[in-house]
C-alpha cells in the first residue's frame, strides 16, 4: 500500500495537535501536513503534488474559510483524488448539507475525548480508503 498523505486545515493549534497526535498514534507511516487556513492549504497543495489523500477541514478560519476552500479546491483538476473530511465544532445540519453539496466526502464533529477521536479516525479511514490499523 502506498503511503497516505494527510492535510489538516485548521487555525486552532490545539485542535491541530489533538488530531495529529491521534493520526500519528494510529497510523505512524502516514505523512501529515498542516495548514492554518484555506488559502495556506491551497498553496500547500499546489506546491506539493500530488494532492493529499485526505484533507481534514475546519469551517471557521480566517483568510479563506472551509466553504471557500471547498469552492476553490474543486476547481482544480485533481481535486477528486482527495477525500475531504469536514472536521468542525458545528453540528448544525445545514453545515453538513452545504459542505456535502460543495464536495466534502464526510462531516464529523470535533471531539474532546481522545479515545473516541481515534475510533472515529479508524471509521473514517476504513470507510473512505480501506485503511486499517495494524496496531493500536
CATH of the domain at 78: 3.40.50.2300
Q: What is the pLDDT of residue 96?
A: 94
Whole-number pLDDT of residue 133: 47
Contact partners, residue 48, CB within 8 Å, separation at least 6: 33
Cα gap 72→90, rounded to integer Å: 21
pLDDT value for 127: 80
> Residue 77: its pLDDT value, please?
87
Q: Which domain holds residue 90?
A: 5-126
pLDDT at residue 79, as a whole number: 92
Domain count, the chain: 1
132 within domain boundaries: no
User: What does pLDDT average to in each consecutive run of 10 residues of the chain (136 residues)?
Assistant: 87 96 94 97 96 96 96 93 95 94 94 94 80 44
In a domain, 131, yes or no: no
Examine residue 81 and state whether it is found in any structural domain, yes or no: yes
In-domain check, residue 71: yes
In a domain, 98, yes or no: yes
Q: Which of 70, 64, 1, 68 is nearest to 30 (CA)?
A: 1
Question: What is the distance between the alpha carbons of residues 9 and 72, in angstroms, rounded to a whole number?
Answer: 14
Amino acid at each position: 500500500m502506498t503511503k497516505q498523505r494527510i492535510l489538516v486545515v485548521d487555525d486552532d493549534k490545539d485542535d491541530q495537535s489533538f488530531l495529529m497526535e491521534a493520526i500519528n498514534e494510529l497510523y505512524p507511516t502516514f505523512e501529515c501536513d498542516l495548514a492554518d487556513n484555506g488559502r495556506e492549504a491551497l498553496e500547500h497543495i499546489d506546491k506539493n503534488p500530488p494532492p493529499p489523500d485526505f484533507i481534514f477541514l475546519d469551517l471557521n478560519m480566517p483568510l479563506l474559510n472551509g466553504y471557500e476552500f471547498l469552492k476553490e479546491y474543486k476547481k482544480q483538476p485533481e481535486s477528486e483524488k482527495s477525500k475531504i473530511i469536514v472536521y468542525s465544532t458545528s453540528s448544525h445540519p445545514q453545515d453538513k448539507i452545504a459542505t456535502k453539496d460543495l464536495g466534502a466526502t464526510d462531516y464529523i464533529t470535533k471531539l474532546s475525548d481522545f479515545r473516541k477521536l481515534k475510533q472515529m479516525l479508524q471509521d473514517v479511514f476504513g470507510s473512505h480508503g480501506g485503511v486499517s490499523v495494524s496496531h493500536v
